[in-house]
Amino acid sequence: MSAEQKTGAEMLIRTLKDQGVDVIFGYPGGAVLPIYDALFQQNDIQHILVRQEGGAVHAAEGYARSTGKVGVVLVTSGPGATNAVTGLTDALMDSIPVVCLTGQVPTHLIGNDAFQEADTTGITRPCTKHNYLVKDIIDLPRIMHEAFYVARSGRPGPVVVDLPKDVLQGKSDHYVAPEEVTHRSYRPQTKAEDHKIAEAVEMIAQAKRPIVYAGGGVINAGPKACELLTRFVRTLGVPCTNTLMGLGAYPGSDPQFLGMLGMHGTYEANLAMYNCDVMINIGARFDDRVTGRLDEFSPRSKKIHVDIDASSINKNVMVDLPIVGDAGSVLEDLLAAWQARKLELDQKALKAWWQKIEEWRARDCLKFEQKGQEIKPQHAIKRLYELTKDRNPYIATEVGQHQMWAAQYFKFEQPNHWMTSGGLGTMGYGMPAAMGVQRAHPDALVIDVAGEASILMNIQELSCIAQYNLPVKIFIVNNQWMGMVRQWQELLHGGRYSESYSAALPDFVKLAESFHAVGIRCEKADELDDKIMEMIDTPKPVVFDCLVTKDENCFPMIPSGAAHYEMLLGPDDKVGKPISEEGMVLV
């Protein structure tokens, strides 16, 4: 080891380089000035200056989700750190690997209510996978490498490293390389026990109505795991459905794909889940948006659950066969065991099962009617998909109806092309996430499908987009309502539209122009295709204001607290029975 003295900040930059980091998303302030000084004196790591720290975390999430790498954030103490909290919680809920470096007041002032002091490790403890306060420069390199290891291993998540200013300015010659650091306690189990694999294939071989329900965990496990999932499903010839977070894990246009399941999932996916006899859950967490009423959730099936996090298993739904392990590793073992034993499903039963599924599919639950010049939001999104699919775009979303329509009408053939806030449902996620994606894939087509309300939550990031010439396309499905809120008020609160109207909206075209972007407005169905093409062909950031039908609802919908078979398929379906009190309290 060289005896060269380095400051904490220089040491920090070295750890980042050794971790292969080439970009960080951040915002400066007093406590982190030493880091900014060190960044200034090097060229390997690019710093992207966001316009609010919340944007930095979402940008890092978009970067991480679209690359499989760890996203890195740098913010100052106090308000910088507190602004990051929403993004950290978002990353925790959706299992996104992020390392967030926060400045802190010098160690001797901690606890004194010093200027811009916040108890960052205290505040972020429940919204991170782990966090650290570095009190001694000697520990800095080890903690940094540990932070990256923890963020990306097992079930990925956000890690905060809180850095007091005196540690950043102190000097030390003690450096350790990533290979020299082994974590004392954290060793997630990635390989499943052989007997579990054997039990699983035997159980599957008995199935007459099997289904694979795959989630974000397969995306977390990587592109190879997604390939294995596809091979597994095709080998068995069984239907596959994905959660919102799992879209892209299985090819969207494959005939064995039933679409998304859950509250706004397809009729065929939900009925197949309800009626199956063996359910193979791989990397999905039985979220309440997916299960609906628990005591009516797939009541007659045997359930296998593959998850790298034992705490995801038997949390909401009791399963018959828990398998702890990495989705990729388990799928590989399942396939091998299936083939080695020369197992086959009962083909007659499987055929009858597919027949049933095709009947459900024939309901064509996503159909809608586009008449006249008023653009239906579904039509806008469907055309956006059809006109862009050949370019293999990366799609980010905000939160609301537009998000669900994007999930329904886009077909994702590959993983890591779909960035959405599923678990926390954070409005304002999409545009900064798209920014991070575009930075990672400079030549790709990156679109944020937005609502006019959500987009205003982080609209300041248009300035960041302009500064770095990121040609992100922001496609606003403008229904002039907080559509998802309006829909719930219509269906569940007697049409009392309390505070859900998007009043006093800005002129999005002028707004775009003032942020050095191109603004396009589309109000007529006739113009839609041309204008979408114009957007795609513009090599600059574009804000596309697409005015759509104001009061369209998103269907299918399983009202909160209802069962899969109580799905509303369209405006003519009424909420069958009054929603139970239990249902009304659900979010």
Partner 1 sequence: MANHKDQEIEARTIAVLVDNEPGVLARVIGLFSGRGYNIESLTVSEVDPRQRFSRITVVTSGTPQILEQIKAQLDRLVPVHRVSDLTMDGASVERELALVKVAGSGDKRVESLRIADIFRARVVDSSHDHFVFEMTGKSEKLDVFIDLMQPLGLVDVSRTGVVAISRGPQGL
Ligand X SMILES: Cc1cc2nc3c(=O)[nH]c(=O)nc-3n(C[C@H](O)[C@H](O)[C@H](O)COP(=O)(O)OP(=O)(O)OC[C@H]3O[C@@H](n4cnc5c(N)ncnc54)[C@H](O)[C@@H]3O)c2cc1C
Ligand Y SMILES: Cc1ncc(C[n+]2csc(CCOP(=O)(O)OP(=O)(O)O)c2C)c(N)n1
75 near 102, Cβ under 8 Å?
yes
Catalytic residue among 10, 53, 398, 566: 53
- Cβ at position 126, least distance to partner 1 in Å: 5
473 near 448, Cβ under 8 Å?
yes
* Residue 246 touching ligand X (CB under 6 A): yes
From residue 69, give the alpha-carbon distance in Å to each of 45, 61, 225, 558, 561. 15, 10, 16, 35, 37
Catalytic residue among 116, 370, 414, 460: 116
Based on the residue annotation, tell me whether 487 is a catalytic residue of this protein.
Answer: no
Residue 326 binds which entry of ligand Y, partner 1, ligand X, none, CB below 5-8 Å type-dependent: ligand X
475 near 531, Cβ under 8 Å?
no
- Cβ at position 176, least distance to partner 1 in Å: 18
Q: Which tokens in the block code for residue 490?
A: 């219509």
Binding range to ligand X, per CB under 6 A, among 51-59, 213-221, 338-346, 452-460: 213-221
Q: Which residues between 443 and 472 bind ligand X (CB under 6 A)?
A: none
* Residue 585 touching partner 1 (CB under 8 A): no
89 near 443, Cβ under 8 Å?
no
Q: How many residues bind partner 1 (CB under 8 A)?
A: 28
- Cβ at position 95, least distance to ligand Y in Å: 19
417 near 394, Cβ under 8 Å?
yes
Catalytic residue among 69, 165, 376, 473: 165
* Residue 97 touching ligand X (CB under 6 A): no
From residue 356, give the alpha-carbon distance in Å to each of 51, 204, 210, 317. 52, 19, 12, 25
* Residue 196 touching partner 1 (CB under 8 A): no
Based on the residue annotation, tell me whether 116 is a catalytic residue of this protein.
Answer: yes
* Residue 399 touching ligand Y (CB under 6 A): yes
Q: Which tokens in the block code for residue 499?
A: 């505070």
Q: Exactly one of 38, 133, 455, 470 binds partner 1 (CB under 8 A); which one?
A: 133
Helix (H, G, I), strand (E, B) or coil at 305: strand
Q: Exactly one of 184, 195, 342, 496 binds partner 1 (CB under 8 A); which one?
A: 184
Q: Exactly one of 425, 432, 541, 559 binds ligand Y (CB under 6 A); which one?
A: 425
244 near 212, Cβ under 8 Å?
no
Binding range to partner 1, per CB under 8 A, among 68-76, 181-189, 495-503, 538-546: 181-189
* Strand 302-307 relative to strand 321-324, pairing: parallel
* Residue 560 touching ligand Y (CB under 6 A): no
Q: Which residues between 289 and 348 bind ligand X (CB under 6 A)?
A: 289-290, 307-309, 312, 326-327
- Cβ at position 269, least distance to partner 1 in Å: 22
Task: Map tokens 């293999």 to a residue.
Answer: 392
* Residue 130 touching partner 1 (CB under 8 A): yes
Return the HEC string of 227-261.
HHHHHHHHHHCCCEEECCCCCCCCCCCCCCEEEEC
> Under 8 Å CB-to-CB from 258, ≥6 apart: which residues?
211, 239, 240, 241, 266, 268, 269, 272, 357, 361
* Residue 110 touching partner 1 (CB under 8 A): no
What DSSP character marks residue 578?
P
Binding site for partner 1 (CB under 8 A): 121-122, 125-126, 129-131, 133, 135, 150, 154-155, 183-186, 294-295, 303, 309-311, 313-315, 318-320
Residue ranges binding ligand Y (CB under 6 A): 398-402, 425-427, 451-454, 477, 479, 481-485
What are the residue numbers of the active site?
A: 53, 115-116, 165, 484
